[in-house]
Amino acid sequence: MIKKKQKCYIYTRVSTAIQVDGYSMEAQKDKLRKYAEFQDYTIAGEYSDEGFSGKNIQGRLDFQRMLQDIQDRKDDVDYVLVFKLSRFGRNAADVLNSLQLMQDFGVNLICVEDGIDSSKDAGKLMISVLSAVAEIKRENIRTQTMAGREQKARGRALERQICPLRL
């Protein structure tokens, strides 16, 4: 009996902050392509959202297109590969709802760098836990960014008070 070659989509996302951390779009794509090749998966499509937060799926047009292609059974894929779960999303509800939609159509999620496969029970548990952690991390990043901006603004205001004639 001949085994059907499995197919996958790869999904990449970068936000401005994460690009600095070394997870560039090309680095993610390279890692995912190598993983697919190693697993002998056929890449049926690549989807990328550049410059979008993982806060929610709103505005992430390629992510939404990928989910629609899964629902339409466009390429009859078995998996979606992402570099890390945080690239899939940083909102626990969105991650879990999107995953459920994919699994309703027989598609599982593999987070390559995290070593998570949603087709396994332990993978589903890890996705639930890590998606909540990613959401908390996103909120902490937002809080720190806002605090930094406020500190910078206070510094500028103080500088104007001390040196009002400075151009």
Nearest Cα to Cα of residue 111 among 5, 8, 7: 8
Q: What is the pLDDT of residues 59-99, one digit of tens each?
A: 899 999 999 999 999 999 999 999 998 889 888 888 999 99
The answer to whether residue 135 sits within a structural domain is: yes
Q: Which residue has the higher pLDDT, 3 or 62?
A: 62
Angle between helices 92-104 and 61-71 (to 10 degrees): 30
3-state SS class at 108? strand
pLDDT recorded at residue 20: 43
Phi, psi of 101 (to 5 degrees): -60, -45
Domain count along the chain: 1
What pLDDT band is residue 137 in, cutting at 50, 70 and 90? confident
The answer to whether residue 2 sits within a structural domain is: no
- Name the DSSP letter for residue 75: S
Nearest Cα to Cα of residue 74 among 29, 5, 7: 7
The answer to whether residue 65 sits within a structural domain is: yes
62, 46 contact by CB (below 8 A) = no
Parallel, antiparallel or unpaired: strands 108-111 and 116-117: antiparallel
The answer to whether residue 149 sits within a structural domain is: yes
The answer to whether residue 167 sits within a structural domain is: no
- The range of the structural domain enclosing residue 118 comes to 7-162
* Whole-prediction pTM: 0.78
The answer to whether residue 87 sits within a structural domain is: yes
- Name the DSSP letter for residue 76: -
The answer to whether residue 79 sits within a structural domain is: yes
pLDDT recorded at residue 160: 67
What is the domain-level CATH number for residue 141?
Answer: 3.40.50.1390
The answer to whether residue 1 sits within a structural domain is: no
pLDDT at residue 149 greater than cutoff 70: no
Q: Where are the alpha helices (DSSP H) in 40-75?
A: 61-71
